[in-house]
Amino acid sequence: MKKNIGPKLALYPAPVTVVGTLKEDAKPNWILIAHVGILSQNKLSLSIHASHYSTALIRKTSKLSVNIVDEAMLPAADYTGIVSANKTDKSAVFDYEMGANGTPIVNASPLAMECEVFDVYEVDGYVNFFCTIVNTYVEDEMLDEKGQINYERLKPVLFEMPTHKYLATGKVLGDAVKTGRTFKGE
């Protein structure tokens, strides 16, 4: 029997990302964000507490990059979530290149998306940015023979909120829209 544990947000684990923005001095700023959601095929949401330095930068520029974190870059990525940009310049944490849309892209990230904000919604002290993906960059070795992203190779780090742990992705369990064909029902 299931136990009612109250109104808990239980949609974890979630992918860990480093969000890149540009400061007024044209240096990048980085922040660790795991509250990223899918809105549609080319749109995503990003939830950041209103008090964060990055929140004001995104409001001003309406542009950002979402850089997927893998195990190799996890210590530096976690650092960007520990240290406040209100007190520390985080521009040198990652080597980066500028994307075609003018946002900083982390060189160490196996996959990055440049986004433009099209709407903002605030709830419970969090600013939710609704973004259109305008460019996606992926390392060649993370693509399969059909040119699709191979997440078994990419191995994104996952975040689990209740215990604040980072997790690795697991094994393939089946093929979507095929596995259910074996189900006979009752």
Per-residue pLDDT of the chain (186 residues; tens, 9 = 90+): 999 999 998 999 999 999 999 999 999 999 999 999 999 999 999 999 999 999 999 999 999 999 999 999 999 999 999 999 999 999 999 999 999 999 999 999 999 999 999 999 999 999 999 999 999 999 999 999 999 999 999 999 999 998 999 999 988 889 999 999 989 876
Question: Helices (DSSP H) in the chain: which residue ranges?
Answer: 53-61, 74-82, 151-154
Q: How high is the pLDDT of residue 186?
A: 62
Burial of 91 (0-12, 13-18, 19+ CB in 10 A): middle
Mention the CATH class of domain 14-183.
Answer: mainly beta
Measured over the CA atoms of residue 91, residue 110, residue 134 and residue 100, the dihedral's sign is positive
Q: How high is the pLDDT of residue 162?
A: 84
Distance CA 24, CA 27 (A): 7
Q: How high is the pLDDT of residue 73?
A: 98
Q: Where are the domains of the chain?
A: 14-183
Dig out the tokens for 136 from the structure.
Answer: 């996606």
